[in-house]
Amino acid sequence: MSRPKISVIGAGNVGATTALMLAQLELGDVVLVDILEGMPQGKALDMMEMNPVYGYDVSITGTNSYEETANSDVVVITSGIPRKPGMSRDDLIATNTEIVKQVTENVARRSPNAILILVTNPLDAMVYIAHKVSGFPRERVMGMAGVLDAARFRSFIGMELGVSVENIHAFVLGGHGDDMVPLARATTVAGVPITELIPADRIESIIQRTRQGGGEIVALLKTGSAFYAPAVSAVEMVDAILRDKKKILPCCVLAQGEYGVDNTFVGLPVILGSKGVEKIFEIKLTKKESEELQLSAAHVKELCDHIEKMSGK
């Protein structure tokens, strides 16, 4: 039986780390694509030379062409540029929209049955672009953000309480940004809500730190952004899909009435399995939580409308 095929588009820090982790878990053969000549080939060869030490028997191919991605089962898209000093938000959006359009066209043409996982920022808007360009059903186009945001939330709770992160389960909904909605009452430590374990003011500061988690790392690194946690978050999604785990994970998906949000890409808890998003997992929200989610969804819709206007459509 042939192994699953996973293509990772973009061989920068996030893409290369994703490829390495996928190989180490032996989830399938990996194709690493980038426009820079020699770079994906060199990184792939370096990873292949780790095989004897780690003992994983999958193939890792580096290429500048999309031909090798044909018939991929899952495609992780990390291509794009980070915001640079002096660059306007509109410039960043315009550049990454164009990149994601081209990548999606190339991928969809060669792997019409693939499941797409977007990592490129601004995340929610890029998932919208990939869905529109690919023409794939909503089950097969999603974004990695909630897994990362929930991981950050869990990390900070673990640090606060001095407990194992394995005991912590977190819910984070909404867009990937300052208006994400971490649900404190649905976030638990060994089944106990954190609202019973951590004072309200400390919970609020942990939520704020979670919202600004990416910015905190950018400020520390000065010349780059987070890549270990984003990569492993994408890998968790690939793992749930290829192993048909039916795992409940927060992902950016197209809401069609769920949680009162319609025709907008937003972070919601979903059941991930071999078909992709097999179901949106609905929980009852309080009035305040629902209002926060609606506001977050409205901001995403605004951004998508802005992209439409920029592209003159």
Residues annotated as catalytic are 176
- The first and second tokens of residue 261, run together, are 């949000």
d(CA 130, CA 141): 7
User: How far is it, in rounded angstroms, from Cα 22 to Cα 225?
Assistant: 21
At residue 159, what is the residue type? M
Q: Which amino acid is at 210?
A: T
Instruction: Give CA separation, 220 vs 1, 87, 138, 224, 225, in Å.
Output: 46, 20, 36, 9, 9
DSSP label at residue 111: -
DSSP class of 187: -
13/80 Cα distance (integer angstroms): 12
Q: In this structure, what token pair is assigned to residue 1? A: 């039986």
Beta strand 168-169 with 247-256 is unpaired
Q: Can you list the alpha helix ranges (DSSP code H) found in the chain?
A: 13-24, 39-48, 51-54, 89-110, 123-134, 146-161, 200-211, 213-221, 228-242, 287-310
| Contacts of 293 by beta carbon, 8 Å cutoff, 6+ apart | 173, 174, 181, 259, 260, 261, 266, 285
Closest by CA position to 134, among listed 97, 104, 103, 100: 104
Closest CA to 145 of 202, 218, 224, 78: 78
